[in-house]
């Protein structure tokens, strides 16, 4: 028997009226009934495809930002830069010269 989900993540759009418009229905997926109360957390922006491909979640970004006292923007930029220098051949040659 499958356990009921406790949370679901998806992208939403802010309409011109300022209201959030969900991209899909979530009540059935979470076994919610009309009138049930839920907690909603809104994060500005969406996770890039590159970070999603590396299984980085919004919760991880939030946790890192809290621990490091950094804005979400800085954490995302840092995580997105992973491996950039290793692909740069000029950098690799220079760095190799410093390793003894």
Q: From CA 77, how far away is CA 51, in angstroms rounded?
A: 10
Please give the pLDDT value at position 97: 65
HEC sequence for 1-22:
CCCCCCCCCCCEEECCCCCEEE
pTM of the complete model: 0.52
pLDDT tens digits, one per residue of 49-81: 888 888 888 888 888 888 989 888 888 888 888
- List pLDDT tens digits, range 10-59: 778 888 999 888 777 777 777 888 888 888 888 777 788 888 888 888 88
């Amino acid at each position: 028997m499958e356990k009921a989900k406790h949370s679901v993540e998806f992208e939403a759009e802010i309409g011109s009226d300022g209201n959030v418009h969900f991209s899909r229905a979530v009540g059935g997926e979470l076994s919610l009934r009309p009138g049930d109360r839920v907690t909603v957390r809104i994060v500005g922006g969406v996770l890039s495809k590159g970070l999603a491909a590396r299984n980085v979640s919004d919760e991880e970004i939030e946790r890192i930002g809290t621990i490091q006292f950094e804005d979400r923007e800085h954490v995302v930029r840092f995580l997105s830069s992973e491996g950039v220098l290793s692909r740069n051949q000029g950098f690799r040659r220079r760095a190799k010269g410093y390793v003894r």
